[in-house]
Amino acid sequence: MKSRKEFKEIYLRAIKPKLVRFERARNKMRRQIFLLAIASFVANIYVVHFVLGITEALFSILPAFLVSVTFGSYKYWAFRREFKNKLIAKVFELAFPDFTYRPNGVDEVGDSGGALEVLKDFTNSKIGNLSQMAEFNRTSLFLSESNTFRYEDEISGKLGKTDVCVSEVFAKRVTGSGKNRRVENIFSGLFFKLDFHKNFSQHTVIRPDFAERFLGGLIGNKLQKMGSSFSNLKLVRMEDPRFEKLFAVYSSDQNEARYLITPKLMEKFVELQKSNKGRVSCAFFEQKFYIAISSRKNRFEPSFFGSVLPFADLKDIYEVLELLQRLVEEFELNTRLWSKE
Amino acid sequence: MLFAILGLVLLSGLLALVLYNTLIKKRNEVENAFSGIEVQLTKRYDLIPNLVEAVKQYMQHEKSLLENITKLRVSAMNPETASDMKLKLDNQISSGLGKIMVAVENYPDLKSNSTFIELQKSLNEVEEQLSAARRTFNAMVTDYNNSIEMFPSSIMASFMGLRRRELFIAPEEAKKRVDLKKMF
């Protein structure tokens, strides 16, 4: 992978000139939205007050507001689509050619940017999200199952012998409606899917441990045991106290859990958690090693209000790839000492 | 008053039943974990003849080491060998295998031999599985020992004649493990 300095050079030489064009397009989009909003408000007031003679304040602005929001959303979605499909994809082509970038985790439709394609793209991303949601839920990384899910900015490729994939995930669980509507934020952040260097057939998860951290070893452990008694994933106690304080391991086979989670791997998890502000969770499932690192940041998005020119926004791409590489190196995923090729 | 006494007796009986069943469950889990170690040991014993066969034509100076490990394997596999003795033999086998892996460093041809590389991968796999099985055994034994020493289950454990079990402690030689990565 290219160094940070090399990436900055590529940014200055080849990406910044393209960003200038996008900055112009962003300004144009904002002007169009602003003008349409003004025009629709004026037309709205004229029609409602002078033609129809209605004096209620709600009718004076509501239609114009709805028109402006719909037009604004459509324009921004189209701009965002262009930004991701053309600019971010170009960044990968120039700086990280070994990786594939898919903005919505599905193969894109055409390239013309017409209204129909924007709509198709929107529908495709929703369909793609459904299959990704099923996979995310199957990992049992979190106790609640998500039913409102967004999957975007997928980067996939190979680092050495290891297949890697990282994406942004926003998972929620929405229940009830009206006044009883409840939204539970399950996870938002980076979701890694990596090839593991050992074969395994069972299901093991590592979740952040709140019970033991806040209630102490004895009570926390009892609570964890009670929590896992109805699931097929049972609590597995590990030997490293530093690891146990931060994480709880659940598995359908405790021997396999210990085969996968060696003392060295536990140390690496402690280091990973300490060096990240977000919560770290992990699952070993269907021959894949999933890592979820929570974050409040929504990466790879073009700004609506601010300029798209600064390097800081593109730096996110580099930082995600750096983290990906770090995970492969720290967990020694390219080391094939075991029977897996 | 009578109801209170009856209630107390019933409650004590129920508590005794729960404690008895919990202790039996934990004892069985220890036995099960021990059999998990034995399964992995058998896998390791199965690999030894192939390993000896693959290295013996290269390792002319380590003949006695290879003969010794073969003998140890035969003794360990003997069904009449006691469990404690098996663990001692297992430690000696671990030490012997470690010495073979160190000696391999002196034979570049052997290090690049594809059969040997495959065998070494299988052996690494078994060693890792064995380590996991031992850790499971220790976790089960710790849980069991806590139960028979902590109140109130300690009372029931003494009635049942349950004794403290020893943890599996890796031999000193095994602790100084060879860095296998350097060998590839």
Reference A202, options A287, A282, A269; nearest CA is: A287
pLDDT at B49 (0 to 100): 87
Residue B121 lies inside a defined structural domain of this protein: yes
- B122 to A339: CB separation less than 8 angstroms, yes or no: yes
- B129 to A339: CB separation less than 8 angstroms, yes or no: no
Amino acid at B107: Y
- How many angstroms separate the CA atoms of A42 and B181, rounded? 74
Q: Which A residues, 207 through 246, put their C-beta within 8 Å of a C-beta on chain B? A: 236-237, 239
Residue B146 lies inside a defined structural domain of this protein: yes
Q: How many domains does chain B have?
A: 1
User: Which 3-state string (H, E, C) describes chain A?
Assistant: CCCHHHHHHHHHHHHHHHHHHHHHHHHHHHHHHHHHHHHHHHHHHHHHHHHCCCCCHHHHHHHHHHHHHHHHHHHHHHHHHHHHHHHHHHHHHHHCCCEEEECCCCCCCCCCCCHHHHHHHHHHHHHHHHHHHHHHHHCCCCCCCCCEEEEEEEEEEEECCEEEEEEEEEEEEEECCHHHCEEEEEEEEEEEEEECCCCCCCCEEEEECCHHHHHCHHHHHHHHHHHHCCCCCEEECCCCHHHHHHEEEEECCHHHHHHHCCHHHHHHHHHHHHCCCCCEEEEEECCEEEEEEECCCCCCCCCCCCCCCCHHHHHHHHHHHHHHHHHHHHCCCCCCCCCCC
- B128 to A198: CB separation less than 8 angstroms, yes or no: yes
Across the A:B interface, residue pairs with CB atoms under 8 Å apart total 43
Reference B83, options B132, B31, B130, B131; nearest CA is: B31
Amino acid at A182: R
Nearest residue in A to B183, CA atom: A337
Residue A188 has pLDDT above 60, yes or no: yes
Residue A188 lies inside a defined structural domain of this protein: yes
CATH number at residue B75: 1.20.1440.20
Nearest residue in A to B129, CA atom: A259
- A255 to B184: CB separation less than 8 angstroms, yes or no: no
pLDDT at A112 (0 to 100): 54
- How many angstroms separate the CA atoms of A164 and A39, rounded? 49
Other CB atoms within 10 Å distance of the CB of residue B30: 19
pLDDT at A57 (0 to 100): 67
A198 reaches B (C-beta below 8 A): yes
Residue A310 has pLDDT above 90, yes or no: no
CA distance B49 to chain A (A): 19
Structural domain including B157 reads 28-179
A57 reaches B (C-beta below 8 A): no
Least confident span in A23-32, A120-129, A201-210: A120-129
pLDDT at A128 (0 to 100): 65
Nearest residue in B to A341, CA atom: B121
pLDDT at A292 (0 to 100): 96
Q: B152 preceded by cis ω (within 30°)?
A: yes
Residue A264 lies inside a defined structural domain of this protein: no
Contacts of A256 in chain B (CB under 8 A): 132
- How many angstroms separate the CA atoms of A61 and A337, rounded? 68
A339 reaches B (C-beta below 8 A): yes
CA distance A219 to chain B (A): 15
- B135 to A256: CB separation less than 8 angstroms, yes or no: no
Q: How far is CA A110 from the centre of its chain?
A: 24
Residue A227 lies inside a defined structural domain of this protein: no
B11 reaches A (C-beta below 8 A): no
Q: Give the range with max mean pLDDT: A36-50, A154-168, B50-64.
A: A154-168
Residue A278 lies inside a defined structural domain of this protein: no
ipTM: 0.72
- A338 to B125: CB separation less than 8 angstroms, yes or no: yes
pLDDT at A108 (0 to 100): 58
- For A216: left if phi > 0, alpha if psi spans -120 to 50, otherwise beta; the answer is left
Residue B102 lies inside a defined structural domain of this protein: yes
Residue to test with chain B: of A239, A258, A260, most B Cβ within 10 A: A258
Interacting residues of A236 by C-beta distance below 8 A, sequence separation 6+:
A204, A249, A250, A251, A254, A257, A258, B139
The mean pLDDT of chain A is: 85
Mean pLDDT of A328-337: 85
Residue A284 has pLDDT above 90, yes or no: yes
Q: Considering chain B, what percentage of its residues have pLDDT values greater than 70?
A: 92
pLDDT tens digits for B32-48? 888 888 888 888 888 88
- B132 to A337: CB separation less than 8 angstroms, yes or no: no
B138 reaches A (C-beta below 8 A): yes
pLDDT tens digits for B86-139? 778 888 888 888 888 888 888 888 878 888 888 888 888 888 888 888 888 988
- A254 to B139: CB separation less than 8 angstroms, yes or no: yes
Q: Higher model confidence: residue A260 or residue B109?
A: A260
pLDDT at A302 (0 to 100): 87
pLDDT at A256 (0 to 100): 93
Contacts of B36 in chain A (CB under 8 A): 255
pLDDT tens digits for A48-101? 877 777 777 667 778 888 888 998 888 888 888 888 888 898 899 888 988 999
pLDDT tens digits for A238-254? 888 889 989 999 999 99
CA distance B6 to chain A (A): 31
- A255 to B129: CB separation less than 8 angstroms, yes or no: yes
pLDDT at B182 (0 to 100): 46
The mean pLDDT of chain B is: 83
pLDDT at A45 (0 to 100): 82
**Where do we find the tokens 């690999």?**
B47
CB distance A83 to A22 below 8 Å: yes
CA distance A212 to chain B (A): 17
Q: How many domains does chain A have?
A: 1
- B121 to A337: CB separation less than 8 angstroms, yes or no: yes
Reference A142, options A182, A186, A172; nearest CA is: A186
CA distance B71 to chain A (A): 27
Nearest residue in A to B118, CA atom: A339
pLDDT at A200 (0 to 100): 92
pLDDT tens digits for A136-160? 999 999 988 998 898 999 999 999 9
Reference B183, options B130, B123, B128; nearest CA is: B123
Instruction: Give the closest of B132, B143, B180 to A255, CB-based.
Output: B132
What are A145's two structure tokens? 């199952």
Residue A156 lies inside a defined structural domain of this protein: yes
CA distance B16 to chain A (A): 20
Residue A240 lies inside a defined structural domain of this protein: no
Which helix (DSSP H) or strand (DSSP E) does residue B166 occupy? none
- Work out the pLDDT band at B178, boundaries 50, 70, 90: very low
pLDDT at A178 (0 to 100): 84
Q: Higher model confidence: residue B168 or residue A153?
A: A153
- Work out the pLDDT band at A205, boundaries 50, 70, 90: very high
Structural domain including A151 reads 4-199+287-330
Instruction: Give the closest of B128, B131, B132 to A338, CB-based.
Output: B128
- A259 to B128: CB separation less than 8 angstroms, yes or no: yes
- A259 to B122: CB separation less than 8 angstroms, yes or no: no
Q: Give the range with max mean pLDDT: A320-329, B78-87, B101-110.
A: A320-329
